[in-house]
Amino acid sequence: MTALKTPNRGQRIFFPGFVHSELQAHQTLNPNQIAQPKVDLLQPLRRKLDSLEIKNPKLAKFLARMIPAQCPFERDILLFGRKIAHIPPMCKINPLYDELVGLRFRALCYLADVCGEDIQSYC
C-alpha cells in the first residue's frame, strides 16, 4: 500500500501501521452498537469516603468497631464433621468494600500512631 487513492464517498481509508488489530473489528459495528461510557452513581460517595480524614479518637474507635476486619458472612456448613456447603464472602459484592476497608485502616492507623493506643482489640 504505497499510494493512496482518493476514496469514494463513504469509503474509509485504512492505515494498518497505525491502527490496532482490535480496532479493525470495531469498524464494521453499527454506530448504535458502540459502547457508551458507564455512569458510576456511587463515585461521589466513594470520593467522600476516600477523602474523609480521621481526627477524632471517638470516631476512629467507632469506625474500627463497626467495620469488620474480616467478612462476617463467609461460612463453611458442616454436617457430622463433613463440609457440605460453602457460603462465599459477600463483602466483595459490596460496591463500597474497598473504600470501607481503607477507612477502617486509616482509623486504626490514627489510633496507633497519633493516640498511641494498642489496636490489638480491634483485630
Please report, for the chain, the start and end positions of each structural domain, with discontinuous segments joined by +: 69-123
Would you state the pLDDT for residue 33?
Answer: 60
Q: Considering only 7-21, 55-69, 83-97, 101-115, which range has the smallest mean pLDDT?
A: 7-21
E-strand stretches of the chain: 75-79, 82-87
What is the maximum span of the chain, computed from C-alpha positions, in angstroms? 79
**Cell reading at 67:** 467495620
Tell me the pLDDT tens digit for each residue of 64-100. Answer: 999 988 877 778 888 998 999 888 887 778 888 889 9
Answer with the residue of higher pLDDT: 58 or 2: 58
For 40, 41, 71, the CA distances from 93, given in Å and listed in that order, are: 16, 16, 11
